[in-house]
Amino acid sequence: MANGSRLRYFPPMQFSELIKNEAVLRAVNDAGFEKPTPIQSAAIPAIKTGRDMIGCARTGTGKTAAFLLPLIEKLIESWTAPREIRARALILSPTRELAMQLAENVAAFSAHTELTALLVHGGTEYENQILRLREGVDILIATPGRMLDLIERKALKLDQIEVFVVDEADRMLDMGFAPDIRKIAPMLPSTRQALFFSATMPKEALSLATGILHKPMQISSDPVSAAAENIRKLLYYVEKNNKFALLEWVLKRLEYHRVLVFCRTRRGAERLTERMQNAGLPVEVLHGQKEQTHRKDIFEAFRSGKTPVLISTDLAARGIDIENISHIINFDLPNEPETFVHRIGRTARAGASGIALSFCDPSEKGYLRDIQTHLNEELEIDDEHPFHSEQIKNFSGNVKAKHTPDKQKHISKIREQTTWRLSPDQRNKLHAKENGPKKNARRNPKKNKG
């Protein structure tokens, strides 16, 4: 990596070797953490050096604690009262759900300290957030849009930030937040420490990071393509119009605790939810068009087990951190292999095991090929179901999905070649009435003057 160094060896440690503050250690014990994960063993000492850092680790390996624990300990050691409309640490998150979960983690890890924290995101009233900021806070957790709104309202300044964290950096890029991050960076003090964390780190994310960070250390605990080893990955070949019936068949036979079902589009998720509810299954749907209060209720129902099956778009691929999700079902295969890794990473968290089921119709064979290449493994085929299609299994997958750019370009080219073009006289005849004036007579009144 340019202008930085890479660390990949993680010696076995105890949390007491990494964290010296008793209040933080007590919170770690309260959370039930026993031994640091590889990303925690590597990142915590590195962050304590004060250097800028890029951390890459797959979902479910404890990367949130990897930056929160040293951040909290640093703020305690260098404590100064935060000034009005200012914060000492800023953590940016791409979605409301991730921001809320970060706020919960901050509250848990700082429970035995005097540090203050504030969560700001869209969909909520400004007034309470502005009032809290007037007192100053130690840790600000924010989504980019709402934070920039507060800055424009003169309710927030970033000139006291000591630590700047971008969580899920690649997701920030996917959601179009790169310009916002570049706009925020110059508002920070030049002496601040900057940390970029993500489950994957594509070239675009690295380019963004290196443009903001100063000689960053890069830490990677897992290959970018890695999925948790304790996830059993099953593949179901099925015709597209049989997917609904297959999901109903599976859900009525699975022994599950919580199931997360992924669809590619909001409309598809809504249709699938309606079908499953009509079949008497306990499902609810989550997507970006839901009101914030409704989304929160849906999360709580899923977390508590009241609604054990949640159908979602990829909003939840990074937005859910709930224990005991026993099964992930890819009703639609994602068109990006990295998204597949994020989806199935919702299960088998913190060392647990899980099962990921993926439905594949003919239009998705190309996606499947990319996913298996990315994972460097073949998914286990399950043909013990009434909707198995041997024809799809043997299909080469050369036909591209309906909505790919190449397909649209091909259709446009065909239309261009086969479109009939009429001369002006022919168009006039086509639109003229048999024994009456032409339709364009009113537009061209001079033609009617005899």
Is residue 404 assigned to a domain? no
> What is the model's pLDDT at position 300?
86
Compute the distance between CA of residue 266 and CA of residue 25 in angstroms, rounded to an integer. 42
Structure tokens at 176: 């179009």
Is residue 412 assigned to a domain? no
Q: Are residues 292 and 253 in the same domain?
A: yes
Q: What is the domain range of residue 271? A: 231-393
> What is the model's pLDDT at position 420?
47
- Torsion, Cα 95 170 28 101, to 10 degrees, reads 10
Q: Are residues 43 and 111 in the same domain?
A: yes
Give the DSSP H/E element, type plus range, for residue 286. strand 283-286
Domain count for the chain, please give it.
Answer: 3
Q: Are residues 171 and 286 in the same domain?
A: no
Domain boundary among 185, 220, 255: 220
Is the CB of residue 347 less than 8 Å from the CB of residue 326?
yes
Is residue 210 assigned to a domain? yes
Supply the CATH number for residue 340's domain.
3.40.50.300
Say which amino acid occupies 144.
P
Q: Are residues 243 and 385 in the same domain?
A: yes
Structure tokens at 10: 């993680």
User: Counting every residue, how long is the chain?
Assistant: 450
Q: Are residues 252 and 216 in the same domain?
A: no
Q: Are residues 203 and 255 in the same domain?
A: no
Q: What's the pTM value of the predicted model, to 2 decimals? A: 0.66
Structure tokens at 107: 């509250």
> What is the model's pLDDT at position 404?
52
> What is the model's pLDDT at position 303?
86
Residue by residue, DSSP assigns 100-165 as HHHHHHHHHHTTTS---EEEE-TTS-HHHHHHHHHH-EEEEEE-HHHHHHHHHTT--B-TT-SEEE
> What is the model's pLDDT at position 323?
75
CA-based nearest residue to 182, from 157, 213, 138, 156: 213
Compute the distance between CA of residue 265 and CA of residue 333 in angstroms, rounded to an integer. 11
- pLDDT by residue (tens digit) across 193-233? 999 998 777 778 888 888 899 999 998 875 444 556 689 99
Q: Which residues pair with 213 in a beta bridge?
A: none
Compute the distance between CA of residue 249 and CA of residue 175 in angstroms, rounded to an integer. 35
Give the residue ranges of the chain where pLDDT is below 70: 1-12, 222-229, 292, 315-321, 350-351, 397-450
Is residue 401 assigned to a domain? no
Structure tokens at 158: 């970033």
Domain boundary among 165, 198, 220: 220
Domain boundary among 189, 220, 251: 220
> What is the model's pLDDT at position 51?
93
> What is the model's pLDDT at position 126?
92
Q: Are residues 304 and 163 in the same domain?
A: no
Compute the distance between CA of residue 343 and CA of residue 199 in angstroms, rounded to an integer. 11
Is residue 400 assigned to a domain? no
Compute the distance between CA of residue 399 and CA of residue 352 in angstroms, rounded to an integer. 38
Q: Are residues 178 and 294 in the same domain?
A: no
